[in-house]
A and B are shown apart, each in its own frame.
Chain A
Amino acid sequence: MGWLHLVRRNLGRRKLRTTFTLASIIVAFTLFALLGGLNRAFNAGVELAGADRLITTHKVSFIQLMPVSYTRRAAEVEGVEAVTHYTWFGAYYRDPKQQFGLFPTDLEKLPEIYPEYTVPEARWDALMGNRIGLLVGQAMADYYGWEVGDTLPLFSSIYPQTDGDYDWEFVLEATFTGTGNEADEMQAFAHYEYFNEARAFGTDLVGWLVTKIEDPERAPEVAAAIDARFANSPTETRTSTEAGFAAAFTDQFGNIGLIIQSILACVFFTLLLITGNTMAQSVRERTSEIAVMKTLGFTDRLVLALVLAESLAMALVGGLIGLAIGTLLIDGMAAAMAQFFPGLAPSPAALVTGVGAAILLGIATGALPAWRAARLRVVDAMGRR
């Protein structure tokens, strides 16, 4: 028999109670891993955002459109290397509930602004030669099972064609791979000319501009210069860094980080009470046994360490199982929800924090019972029998 055996046997003395407590720890840490992954997905745009790119939107709201001519005019600003524009197409393939990011854009500018995207040269030429050609992220092509050369009937939830139909025809001419995670591969790009000529309204308008700047250090200065160029016009602009834009986009859903932290704080506070109560009960029931151990020569410190080891073992076992289940669930959800949360993936930072939280939980819930057990006087404990 070793110390571990003693800890294990003590934890197993009330199997039902230990099982329920362990289950509550597992559920809490599963939730922790899930929310950590979700938080990461919401912030994926921020993480992916390049420091040398600016986003220019309509000053009132980013859903308001602006003239395509702004692209040329923004390119004239000092410090700007290249400019392109994006428009939200509102695309879906078969299920209207599963919209994905398809952006009619000036495809020629794309490699210059997004050098992290890689497209095979031959496919690039084919894409540029076909006005209804579509450039699709590899992850998205894999998700929908599309192959290069496929004709794709896609629908727009916003733009009908001039004949009133909302269905559009594209040919998948090329796929791209990104250097980041799968998040940036869950989107598609189409030729703006085709889109602009065929749509029933909004001609010569675009959603927002993406500007690559020469010096990231001068980003605030260049952003101010772009906005100044369109000041006092019917369509004033607001320019921010790509990261700032992504953060503002995420904030539409509310402060996700704060919401998640609040939920977790409530869960862990409840857990602290449940586990703390279990440990306190467990030690209280063993008062005479602890007194006997001290009689045999167990020191106060040793008794303290043994009780702490029990609470740590329970919190760590429950925590690690919970984090593992949460990670598996996130992995499963990532595949199923790739179009909604392209950045959904287990968060390594959340996992590390989770292990730390489990250790803290173990110490916090075991500290008071352990201290009481260590302070227990043998003569008092034996006299209470």
Chain B
Amino acid sequence: MSESSSGPIVDLKQVVKHYRRGRETVEVLHGLDLSIERGEFCALMGPSGSGKTTLLNLIGGLDRPTSGEVHVDGQRIDSLGSRALARWRSDHVGFIFQFYNLMPVLTAQRNVELPLLLKSMSSAERRKRAATALEIVGLADRAKHLPRELSGGQEQRVAIARAIVSDPDLLLADEPTGDLDRATAEEILDLLQTLNRRHGKTILMVTHDPVAADRAGRTVQMDKGSLLEAA
């Protein structure tokens, strides 16, 4: 059911997530409540196993909570079927991964075009949009390069271009600087800040790095499946 888009872009209510590990049931998230406002740049920090990635997966519609409600961009997504959820993801969320996850057989341009295959638009329009996204991340001159011909930082820029090419309101980044050196990480964080401030993208970034978290306007700490504080 669609709701008003004037409220928070992410709104979690009493979210619980269980996993089955053999015969054992493990509770990863314990009744979480979290709101993220539109246009926020929020860092999610916490030790390994605290449930950060699980939370990100729930917000991104990659997984469903055991109980509770997940509202994103005005839509309750935890009750959507898998096809509807896939379509919703292609329209509303952009994902950025630690290891970039580009298709090694496609050029930068075509990697960025990939999400647009799901949209009804001409190939010329797809090319144009991909070129614009690459320009935003500063890689217009690398459009014809394969991922193996790019540096780590450049690969992550292409991945960011792929995440924004469909113009989603929400970007979910899972350790986007975790595989990069400090200087390159700073460049990527600059880019994320630009997307947040200049292009109005809401960003939720999982990170272990306090320096990266400092770039966010808000930091949320997690431990053992619970939110500790919201700064």
Residues of A at the B interface (CB closer than 8 Å) are: 1-3, 5-6, 9-10, 12-13, 288-289, 292-302, 378-379, 382, 385
Contacts and interface: CB of A to CB of B under 8 A. Distances in A.
A71 to B, nearest CB: 75
Contacts of A300: 82-83, 86
Contacts of B95: 292, 295-296
Interface string B52-85: 0000010010110000000000000000001100
Nearest to A303: B86
Contact of B89 (A296, A302, A379): A296
B97 A297 contact: no
Contacts of B82: 299-300
B110 A13 contact: no
Contact of A299 (B87, B101, B103): B87
A297 B89 contact: yes
B115 interface: yes
B89 A288 contact: no
B49 interface: no
A293 to B, nearest CB: 7
- Could you say which interface size class chain B belongs to? 20 to 34
A379 B110 contact: no
Secondary structure dominating the interface of A: helix
Given A9-B105, A296-B95, A300-B86, 8 more contacts: A2-B123, A6-B106, A9-B106, A293-B114, A296-B118, A297-B115, A299-B82, A299-B86
Contact of A6 (B109, B117, B126): B117
A289 B101 contact: yes
Given A1-B123, A1-B126, A5-B110, A296 B105 contact: no
B157 to A, nearest CB: 16
Contact of B62 (A9, A301, A379): A379
Nearest to B106: A9
Contacts of B138: none
A10 B105 contact: yes
B115 A296 contact: yes
A301 B118 CA distance: 13
A95 B62 CA distance: 77
Interface centre among B62, B104, B105, B118 (most CB of A within 10 A): B105
B60 to A, nearest CB: 7
A9 B110 CA distance: 11
Nearest to B172: A295
Nearest to A286: B103
Contacts of A293: 114
